[in-house]
């Protein structure tokens, strides 16, 4: 699993967004796949829920995920090019 680096010049939410984007582009999270829930990501990456939400906001802005209320966030199909 990728780790958040406290020494990075990037904000933690930017690091998390980059990690998830890499997983989407590598196919680890395939198009149509539901991403792990916010609570799971807070535990896996040892970050706060606000950080996870900010990272998901970035991914939505980039057109990589959609969020369906009460269902979660999903990788778009097809994944847009870089």
pLDDT score for 82: 86
pLDDT in tens, the chain (82 residues): 689 999 999 999 999 999 999 999 999 999 999 999 999 999 999 999 999 999 999 999 999 999 999 999 999 999 999 8
The pLDDT value recorded for residue 28 is 96
The candidate with the shortest Cα–Cα distance to 28, out of 81, 80, 79, 82, is 79
* Best CA proximity match to 3, nearest among 19, 17, 27: 19
For the entire predicted model, the pTM comes to 0.94
């Amino acid at each position: 699993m990728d780790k958040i680096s406290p020494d990075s010049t990037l904000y933690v939410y930017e690091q998390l967004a980059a990690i998830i984007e890499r997983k989407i582009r590598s196919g680890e999270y395939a198009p149509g796949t539901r991403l792990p829930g916010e609570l799971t990501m807070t535990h896996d990456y040892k970050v706060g829920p606000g950080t996870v939400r900010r990272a998901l906001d970035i991914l939505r802005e980039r057109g990589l995920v959609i969020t369906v209320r009460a269902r979660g966030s999903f990788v778009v199909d097809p994944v847009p090019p870089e």
